[in-house]
Amino acid sequence: MITDARTSPWEIGDRVAWGERPYDGIDDLLAALAPVDAPSQLIHGDLTCNVLFHDELPPAIIDFAPYWRPAEYATAIVLTDAFLWESAPEDLLDEAHPQYLLRALIYRGVTSIESGTEWRPTIALARRIAGCGSR
């Protein structure tokens, strides 16, 4: 499968979030993953900051990051991004199932670790959602 050969931070983060790849240091989070029962479809896995708005034109989606995952996963990614990056209220996270939030946070956390950016708040929130406590 071609997707398995990709090694970008985003591809690694996605596969870890879906239990398709191990990752050192987050075994507690991976153990908290439970199966989800939703059909997969084509989603944008990095919608935040990739939509352009214009007063007279419809929104334009740029930098399409395609993944074959349940739609609620894409929603959870946008919700966690809004909370972590855009100062959205925490109760916004209640709009997604905790398993999708956990996967979205693992995705963003691993992606941040792999790309050398700050990851600690993302992983800490994932541990809180998973009930793993803080480390």
Answer whether 0.85 is exceeded by the pTM: yes
Distance CA 26, CA 45 (A): 21
Give the mean pLDDT of 114-135. 88
Tell me the pLDDT tens digit for each residue of 79-104: 999 999 999 999 999 999 999 999 99
Within the chain, strands assigned E span 40-44, 51-52, 60-61, 66-70
Q: Beta strand pairing status for 66-70 and 60-61?
A: unpaired
Predicted confidence at residue 51, as pLDDT, reads: 86
Distance CA 116, CA 38 (A): 32
Predicted confidence at residue 40, as pLDDT, reads: 96
| Distances 56 to 47, 61, 99, 103, 113 between C-alpha atoms, Å | 21, 15, 38, 36, 39
Distance CA 4, CA 11 (A): 8
Give the mean pLDDT of 41-48. 87
Predicted confidence at residue 133, as pLDDT, reads: 56
- The angle that helices 71-86 and 98-115 make with each other, rounded to 10 degrees, is 60
Contact (CB, 8 A) for 73 and 39: no
Half-sphere exposure for 51 (CA within 13 Å, toward CB) = 10
Q: Which two tokens stand for residue 26?
A: 């987050």
Predicted confidence at residue 50, as pLDDT, reads: 79
Give the mean pLDDT of 71-82. 95
Write down the residue that tokens 């240091």 correspond to.
Answer: 25
